[in-house]
């Protein structure tokens, strides 16, 4: 007996008892829909994170130094030299000093910005920043500790009515002149990159009363990030004589770490959803066992007409597989719908504008394959039971 006949026969017996078929499929439908939703949302989240990293600078290498407590420390000049010595792997560097706890006031009011950063004149290119007004910091500002700063678009709008360039800003009691406004990067909201003040790091060091504790490098390429990282690490190790006093993280590696975490999370979630598939499979097995005893006579008739064990077995396996495959298709439909709705809802949230649930073709194919597989797997036992029935007993069965 061909697969086509078995398949048509399976459809026929499903059509005869629609409610039962639907209930049988329910576990598979829910399981498959859950898997599709989870994978779609997970992929969407991963894509959003990758995009955000990309905008952060995919070649970014962050160095944190906390020092040994001794007099040994890293001077910004060492790092500049490192870049100059390794043009193939490192493009630029900027010290990175965060200033906190200092009072800030515009000519009108005191306020607390999201962050105050001390950096070098290369920081804008390292982070891919552009300006909407004025200019960025320059070498001479850093060298001479000029009291100039660049502000984010939120600061500009909120405290200077959009006319910050040329205005005065008091930071920690010193009067600074605003020389530039950064382009908007986060819809000018409070606490974001648009709510920051950028100064020469030399000024920031005096304000914060600390040495430079962090650097931002630009690597030459994403693919050579680990080489760039090794170069920096070697140098720092030489200074400190130990690798416990600093940490070097490349964006590429951080992205890897986050992706690994995301993947782990998704595997866990999918595994949970798979429990539903398992339950669905058991449901199919249950109904198939009922179906086998209901159709004992039919099995007897088929055997008396020359059906071999294999024929009977494949008939019931195909029936189980068809049931779960249809369940899988329905589940994929529901899953796509739910993922779409969830994606739309999530993209309406703050900070998730770029989010889109993207169900991959692979995920759909996998979900379908698994649902068919579950049917075949759990259909095997009842099918085998049917195949082994004794034709005489089966024919006499009422």
Partner 1 sequence: MGHLIEFRQVYKIYQMGDTAVHALDGVDITIDKGEFVAIVGQSGSGKSTAMNIIGCLDVPTRGQYFLGGTDVSTMDDDQQAVIRNKMLGFIFQQYNLIPKLNVLENVELPLLYAGVPERERRERARSALERVGLADKSKNLPSQLSGGQQQRVSIARALAGSPSVILADEPTGALDSRTGREVLHFLKQLNREGDTVVLITHDNSIAVMADRIIRLQDGKVIYDGDAHDPRAVVQPHLPGEDEEVGA
Does residue 1 touch partner 1 according to CB under 8 A?
Answer: yes
Radius of gyration (C-alpha) of the chain in whole angstroms: 33
Site string for partner 1, 308-347 (x = CB under 8 A): xxxx------------------------------------
CB of 328 to partner 1, least distance (A): 24
3-state secondary structure of 151: strand
The stretch among 49-57, 90-98, 296-304, 365-373 that binds partner 1 (CB under 8 A) is 296-304
Does residue 297 touch partner 1 according to CB under 8 A?
Answer: yes
Does residue 16 touch partner 1 according to CB under 8 A?
Answer: yes
Select from 22, 301, 346, 352 the one that contacts partner 1 (CB under 8 A). 301
Rounded to 10 deg, the angle between the 76-85 and 225-240 helix axes is 140
Nearer to partner 1, 229 or 302 (CB): 302
Instruction: Provide the β-strand partners of residue 247.
Output: 64
Burial of 334 (0-12, 13-18, 19+ CB in 10 A): middle
Neighbours of 354 (CB within 10 A): 13
CB of 288 to partner 1, least distance (A): 16
Instruction: Map tokens 């500049």 to a residue.
Output: 80
Per the CB < 8 A criterion, the answer to whether 319 and 24 are in contact is no
Cα separation, 149 vs 135, in Å, equals 10
Cα separation, 184 vs 309, in Å, equals 72
Does residue 305 touch partner 1 according to CB under 8 A?
Answer: yes
Per the CB < 8 A criterion, the answer to whether 356 and 369 are in contact is no
Nearer to partner 1, 190 or 310 (CB): 310
The stretch among 191-199, 202-210, 233-241, 304-312 that binds partner 1 (CB under 8 A) is 304-312
CB of 393 to partner 1, least distance (A): 10
Nearest of 90, 59, 81 to residue 230 by alpha carbon = 90
- Tell me the number of residues near partner 1 by CB under 8 A: 23
Cα separation, 270 vs 36, in Å, equals 9
Does residue 302 touch partner 1 according to CB under 8 A?
Answer: yes
Does residue 12 touch partner 1 according to CB under 8 A?
Answer: yes
Nearer to partner 1, 128 or 391 (CB): 391
Select from 10, 13, 83, 219 the one that contacts partner 1 (CB under 8 A). 13
Nearest of 188, 191, 155, 158 to residue 171 by alpha carbon = 155
Structure tokens at 219: 């690597």
Does residue 290 touch partner 1 according to CB under 8 A?
Answer: no
Select from 263, 304, 344, 360 the one that contacts partner 1 (CB under 8 A). 304
Instruction: DSSP for 236-302, please give it.
Output: HHHHHSSSSSEEEEEHHHHHHHHHHHHHHHHHHHHHHHHHHHHHHHHHHHHHHHHHHHHTHHHHHHH
Neighbours of 46 (CB within 10 A): 17
Nearer to partner 1, 16 or 349 (CB): 16
Q: Which of residues 151-180 bind partner 1 (CB under 8 A)?
A: none
Q: Which of residues 26-45 bind partner 1 (CB under 8 A)?
A: none
Does residue 234 touch partner 1 according to CB under 8 A?
Answer: no
Does residue 391 touch partner 1 according to CB under 8 A?
Answer: yes
Nearer to partner 1, 277 or 307 (CB): 307
Per the CB < 8 A criterion, the answer to whether 374 and 281 are in contact is yes
CB of 379 to partner 1, least distance (A): 19
The residue ranges of DSSP E strands in 138-205, in sequence order, are: 148-151, 168-171, 174-182, 196-200
The stretch among 10-18, 202-210, 258-266, 281-289 that binds partner 1 (CB under 8 A) is 10-18
Contact positions vs partner 1 (CB under 8 A)? 1-2, 5, 12-13, 16, 297-298, 300-311, 391-392, 395
């Amino acid at each position: 007996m061909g697969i086509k006949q078995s398949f048509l026969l399976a459809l026929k017996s499903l059509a005869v008892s629609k409610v039962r078929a639907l209930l049988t499929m329910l576990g598979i439908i829910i399981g498959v829909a859950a898997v599709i939703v989870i994978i779609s949302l997970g992929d969407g989240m991963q894509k959003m994170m990758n995009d955000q990293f990309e905008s952060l600078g995919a070649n970014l290498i962050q160095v944190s130094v906390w020092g040994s407590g001794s007099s040994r420390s890293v001077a910004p000049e060492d790092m500049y030299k490192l870049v100059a010595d390794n043009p193939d792997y490192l493009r630029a560097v900027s010290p990175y000093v965060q200033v906190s706890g200092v009072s800030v006031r515009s000519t009108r009011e005191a306020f607390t910005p999201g962050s105050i950063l001390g950096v070098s004149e290369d920081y804008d290119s390292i982070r891919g920043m552009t300006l909407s007004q004025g200019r960025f910091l320059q070498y001479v500002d850093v060298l001479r500790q000029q009291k100039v700063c660049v502000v984010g678009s939120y600061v500009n709008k909120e405290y200077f009515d959009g006319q910050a360039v040329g205005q005065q800003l008091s930071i920690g009691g010193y009067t600074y002149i605003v020389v530039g406004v950064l382009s908007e990067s986060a819809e000018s909201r409070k606490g974001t990159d648009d709510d920051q003040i950028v100064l020469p790091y030399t000024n920031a060091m005096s304000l914060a009363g600390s040495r430079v504790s962090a650097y931002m490098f630009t690597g030459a390429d994403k693919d050579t990030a680990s080489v760039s990282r090794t170069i920096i690490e070697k140098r720092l190790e030489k200074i400190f004589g130990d690798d416990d006093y600093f940490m070097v993280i490349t964006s590429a590696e951080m992205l890897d770490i986050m992706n690994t975490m995301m993947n782990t999370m998704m595997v866990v979630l999918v595994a949970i959803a798979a429990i539903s598939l398992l339950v669905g499979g058991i449901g199919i097995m249950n109904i198939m066992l009922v179906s086998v005893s209901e159709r004992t006579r039919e099995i007897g008739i088929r055997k008396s007409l020359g059906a071999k064990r294999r024929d009977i077995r494949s008939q019931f396996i195909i029936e189980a597989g068809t049931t779960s495959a249809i369940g899988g298709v329905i589940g994929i439909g529901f899953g796509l719908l739910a993922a779409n709705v969830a994606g739309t809802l999530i993209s309406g949230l703050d900070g998730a504008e770029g989010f889109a649930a993207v169900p991959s073709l692979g995920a759909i194919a996998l979900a379908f394959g698994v649902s068919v597989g579950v049917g075949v797997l759990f259909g095997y036992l009842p099918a085998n039971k049917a195949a082994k029935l004794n034709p005489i007993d089966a024919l006499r069965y009422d």
